[in-house]
Structure 1
Amino acid sequence: LQGSASECTFICLLAAKEYTTRQMKILHPELNEDIIKTKLVAYTSNQSNSSVEKAGILGSMLIRLLPVDNKCSLRGETLKKAIQDDLEKGLIPCYVVATLGTTGTCAFDKLDEIGPICKEYNIWLHIDAAYAGAAFICPEFRHLMSGVQYADSFNVNAHKWLLTNFDASVMWVKDSRRLIEAFSVDRIYLAHDKEGLAPDYRNWGISLGRRFRSLKLWFVMRLYGVEGLQKHIRHTIKLAQLFEKYLRSDNRFEIVTDAVMGLVCFRIKGDNSLTKKLLDRLTARRQVYLIAGTYQEKLIARFVICSRLCREEDIVFSWNEISSQTNEILQSESHQESIECIAKSPNDIATKIENLNLTIKEVSQKISKTI
């Protein structure tokens, strides 16, 4: 158990860095270790969480933010092309972060395409399922992690959607020896007579000491059980679907991506400024709290169900607040357009009068000629 998905991504990047460096030294003993590390490169989608890019900065590793398809998913062919391009440049592909449930739109990268490529090139594959990973407790959502068998590490935040207080980030690794080789440092004051009897977690991460996070997670599991946690996930998704239904019934709005899990991404049709005004108004009024996002250069509002206490009446309240504020915004826009039309109309009237005078003058001239 780590503190956050950010820590998990960073720890696995460091482990992948050390593992790849060792492997390259075995294959090419003539190479300098420092030179190898300058050539290492990692990959993720441009929809991945900011913490992935931050891990690259902290770990001194170049991270390529790869483009996604029209569903915001990273595809295998995109990754493979980037890897091949870097190999031709003499770089060393080292680490891939695939996301299951991106922050912006809850998109799912194609693991069944990405996984075999990572295996082919011997690249560490880390899966960031910080939010959506909790839903895999329900069998009906497990198809979304097809290809997970290729993962070298996997992370889900229990404090996001599994009813556990912050912080509790569950990290699974396929081969813990890679962590130990990267982080193990022995000192005489660290020696004890229980070595080898149980995992020594000081060698699985950054810190030597660690909080007893497992206790609160254990209590949640004991209190709710599998069925209770499944019920919570399904209830949350049902509420998000209710909000989506309200949106679809109102032609002022558009849903920009398919509603997934507990997240619905929407916007007011038209210019981005309308959605910006809506978000600003909602924030100022403090009745509901929405975070902005972007999708194909469109500004979007992200409506997500977060609380276990949320009920249908809360969705109705939220919808009424969003709808009423949208009414005011659109009425204000319409009023402004009317003012602009009125401001232009004197010129239009003058032009019409001028044209009419010209016509009368032409008729008079023709009558004079005829006479």
Structure 2
Amino acid sequence: MQLKRTHPNMETKEFRKHAHQFVDWMADYMDNIEDYPVKSQVQPKEIYNLIDGDIPTKGEDIDSIFDDFKNVIIPGITHWQNPNFFAYFQANNSPPSILAEMLTATLGIQGMKWDTSPASTELEERMIEWLRDALGIPKKWAGVIQDSASIATLASILTAREQKSNYQINNAGYEGLANYRIYCSEETHSSIEKGAKIAGVGKSNVIKIPTDDKLAMNPELLLDSINEDIANGYQPLCIVVAIGTTGTMAIDPLNKIANISEKLNIWLHVDAAYAGSALLLPEYQELIAGIEKADSFVFNAHKWLFTNFDCSIYFVKDKNALVNTFEILPEYLKSKTDGVVSNHSDWGVPLGRRFRSLKLWFVMRYYGLEGLQNKLRFHIELAKWLENEIVKSSEFELIVPRSMNLVCFRFKPQKPYSNKDLNNINEELLHKLNATGLIYLTHTKVNGIYTLRMSVGQTNIKKHHIEKSWQLIISKAMEI
């Protein structure tokens, strides 16, 4: 008996037609991305109200869905790949990365174990080695691709917790164990507090260490805080060093802090989520002097290495400590290769894993090390140009010295204003700039000063983008 088909089924011929249609749109989008407002100009719930409230009863054709994508979804997109995107830190892609992501989606694999796709595991191992050597990470370290630096930081906190407790908390929970402490600077990313909450250490046990005049962690105050905690019965668990803080790209003094962690046997995690890509440049290798004394390191290839989200590279000194923290082997996951190969599902929180290494492979092969270095240096040179323009200006000022490709500044008219008034003026300037749709900036606060941030690192940015953006900033400032 032949069953009657009651659901739509896209045949290969139709798929091919729409795939070509979509690729044409994608190429046009990349060519014309500057025609869109950088920051979406829609109001809250505007997109939501344009989407049907109920699931369709019957299937719809791709042309109708694609039309709605263009007319409903695109107006609500903030265009992160626009060369005039200077907000937060970049989350870049590139043509080779996009092409690889298309292949990844087509293959649709689950890379949780070696058996479920050997190429996924072994390509990932080789990509980790490529980056390990290019970044200056010790050769004895191992690594794995995580989805984000937040998850990598959580993995470090959990591994430190299990190593410190002799792997008892995974088995029996916290009962009978003393309070743990995690240390980071006042400028460090919120993912550390989130990781402490998830790991059961508790947000209140994350100790924020004051910073110096460069907004970097003060090692002497770190040591004082640790000694005080030990005297009060706490157990120092983990120190997180930032190579590039979120607000100002401040660089914590890794080597000095590593000497403390090594002497006191405290897990040391290095968070270089954005700035880590700059380690591909020999002139920035000094930033990780002392890395051999650390225990883990993370940077995001999906930020400044032109590989689309998600692709976070996580290195560990002791892979056994990591695997012992996360390994779990129910009967349905057992295979004859267990113990012979790496099963990356045991190297982090999730069981399921995407084939992330494919896009990384495409990017590194397409650009090559020299091509990647040239792009990074170009972005840094553009940021230097902007820094010089601000220094020359009588009505703008740098708030902190430029760090790599991040420039932090504010509008400061010659007429005297209070700091509160200047903060309000700069907040108004930020909103005016973003409302134009021609540029997108975000802000931070540095010692109470409302600070505009320009992260100059989008994949395809050119000199004229930064020049036009600077002129726009000046013109909007003069309107206030």
Q: Does 1:136 align with 2:287?
A: no
Q: Is the 8 A contact 2:162 2:168 kept in 1?
A: no
The answer for the alignment partner of 1:206 in structure 2 is 349
Q: Is the 8 A contact 1:236 1:305 kept in 2?
A: yes
Letter in 2 for 1:19: Q
The answer for the alignment partner of 2:250 in structure 1 is 107
Query: Which among 347, 359, 365 is matched to residue 222 of structure 1?
Result: 365
* Runs of 4+ off more than 2 Å: none
The offset of 1:296, in angstroms, is: 1.0
Letter in 2 for 1:280: H
The offset of 1:239, in angstroms, is: 0.7
Q: Is the 8 A contact 1:21 1:33 kept in 2?
A: no
How big is each residue's C-alpha offset from its partner over 1:73-97, in whole Å with a ceiling of 9 and x where there is no partner?
0122111111111101101000111
The answer for the alignment partner of 1:39 in structure 2 is 179
The answer for the alignment partner of 2:147 in structure 1 is 3
How big is each residue's C-alpha offset from its partner over 1:17-64, in whole Å with a ceiling of 9 and x where there is no partner?
111111899xxxxx995231x511111111011111111111121211
CA spacing shift, 1:312–1:40, aligned 2, 3 Å: same
Query: Which among 16, 23, 37 is matched to residue 160 of structure 2?
Result: 16
Q: Is the 8 A contact 2:167 2:325 kept in 1?
A: no
Matched position secondary structure for 1:289: coil
Q: Is the 8 A contact 2:158 2:199 kept in 1?
A: yes
Q: Does 1:320 align with 2:461?
A: no
Q: Does 1:66 align with 2:66?
A: no
Matched position secondary structure for 1:266: strand
C-alpha distance in structure 1 between counterparts of 2:301 and 2:256, whole Å: 27
The answer for the alignment partner of 1:94 in structure 2 is 237
The answer for the alignment partner of 2:411 in structure 1 is 268
The answer for the alignment partner of 2:325 in structure 1 is 182
Using structure 1 for the length normalisation, give the TM-score.
0.84
Using structure 2 for the length normalisation, give the TM-score.
0.66
The answer for the alignment partner of 1:341 in structure 2 is none
The offset of 1:226, in angstroms, is: 0.6
The answer for the alignment partner of 2:451 in structure 1 is 300
- After superposition, the CA RMSD in angstroms is 1.6
Larger Rg: 1
- For residues 222-371 of structure 1, what are the structure 2 equivalents within 5 Å? 222-269=365-412, 270=417, 271-329=422-480
The answer for the alignment partner of 1:57 in structure 2 is 197
Q: Is the 8 A contact 2:271 2:299 kept in 1?
A: yes
Letter in 2 for 1:16: A
C-alpha distance in structure 1 between counterparts of 2:168 and 2:348, whole Å: 23
Matched position secondary structure for 2:146: coil
Letter in 2 for 1:115: A
Q: Is the 8 A contact 1:239 1:305 kept in 2?
A: yes
Q: Unaligned regions of 5+ residues in structure 2, if any?
A: 1-144
C-alpha distance in structure 1 between counterparts of 2:320 and 2:350, whole Å: 17
The offset of 1:197, in angstroms, is: 1.9
Q: Is the 8 A contact 2:148 2:310 kept in 1?
A: yes
Letter in 2 for 1:156: F
Higher helix share: 1
Letter in 2 for 1:197: V
C-alpha distance in structure 1 between counterparts of 2:173 and 2:344, whole Å: 31
Q: Is the 8 A contact 1:75 1:113 kept in 2?
A: no
Q: Is the 8 A contact 1:66 1:78 kept in 2?
A: yes
C-alpha distance in structure 2 between counterparts of 1:32 and 1:185, whole Å: 16
How big is each residue's C-alpha offset from its partner over 1:152-202, in whole Å with a ceiling of 9 and x where there is no partner?
000010010011011000000000111111112221111100112221211
Q: Unaligned regions of 5+ residues in structure 1, if any?
A: 26-30, 330-371
Identical columns (%): 39
Letter in 2 for 1:272: N
Q: Which has the higher contact order (CA 8 A, sep 6+)?
A: 2
C-alpha distance in structure 1 between counterparts of 2:370 and 2:260, whole Å: 36
Answer with 268-277 or 198-207: which moved more. Answer: 268-277
C-alpha distance in structure 1 between counterparts of 2:296 and 2:473, whole Å: 40
How big is each residue's C-alpha offset from its partner over 1:190-243, in whole Å with a ceiling of 9 and x where there is no partner?
110011222121111111121110110011010011100100100110111111
C-alpha distance in structure 1 between counterparts of 2:168 and 2:206, whole Å: 19
Matched position secondary structure for 2:268: strand
